[in-house]
Amino acid sequence: MLSSVMTIALIVLLLLTFWQDMRSRILSVWLWAVMTGIVIIIRFADAGNGVLAVGYEMGINVLIIFWQLFFLTLYVSVKNRKLTQPVGQFLGLGDVFFWIVPTLFFTPVSFLIYWVFSLLFALAGHLIFRSLLSATYPSTVPLAGMQALCMAGYVGVSKLDPTPLFACLQIGGQHA
């Protein structure tokens, strides 16, 4: 029961993140902090005796993020011919803070799949919104919001059991 409530709360917060990032390109710290706490509760509640394994998986995901930030810094620095910090200029601080949420939620293989898909989804979504709303749509990419939308979809499909919602339909069942 607690897991379902936490999962629904996480989905709602992820959707709020999407809405907030699309609207203002700024993420609230409280939203990120609550999501992080919920993800930690969900992961460790599901872990049972494998708490060390979950910690190890989270560590691998954090290393993947550091690896990406390192190579992004290297690329931007070589391009500008001086050491350049990409966070703040090319990447929002809210995006980096949001990355902690999926880093803690996914196993390493699932994280890599999510990561690649969500980045492609963010790019495609940005290009679509930009072509449809070119006069009013900002030029910055709502990366955290798009990634939150992807994560909300994944969590909704993989963690929630829709059986109670459709039990009243009795599809293929006996009728009295």
Alpha carbon distance 83, 74 (integer Å): 8
pLDDT at 171 over 80: no
Higher pLDDT, 19 or 158: 19
The DSSP call for residue 88 is: T
Burial 80-116 (b: 16+ CB within 10 A, else e): eeeebeeeeeebbebbbbbbbbbbbbbbbeebeebbe
| Residue 175 pLDDT grade (very low, low, confident, very high; cuts 50, 70, 90) | very low
Q: What's the pLDDT score for residue 51?
A: 75
Alpha carbon distance 50, 35 (integer Å): 22
| Residue 129 pLDDT grade (very low, low, confident, very high; cuts 50, 70, 90) | confident
- 20 close to 97: Cβ distance less than 8 angstroms: no
User: Torsion over CA of 91, 97, 102 and 105, rounded to 10 degrees?
Assistant: 170
Q: Which residues contact 45 (CB under 8 A, 6 or more apart)?
A: 2, 3, 6
Alpha carbon distance 157, 146 (integer Å): 17
Alpha carbon distance 158, 95 (integer Å): 24
Copy the structure tokens of residue 6: 């936490």
pTM: 0.79
Alpha carbon distance 174, 176 (integer Å): 7
pLDDT tens-place string over residues 46-88? 766 577 888 888 899 999 999 999 999 999 899 889 988 878 7
| Residue 162 pLDDT grade (very low, low, confident, very high; cuts 50, 70, 90) | low
pLDDT tens-place string over residues 17-50? 999 988 888 888 888 888 888 888 888 777 665 7
Q: What's the pLDDT score for residue 55?
A: 83
pLDDT at 167 over 70: no
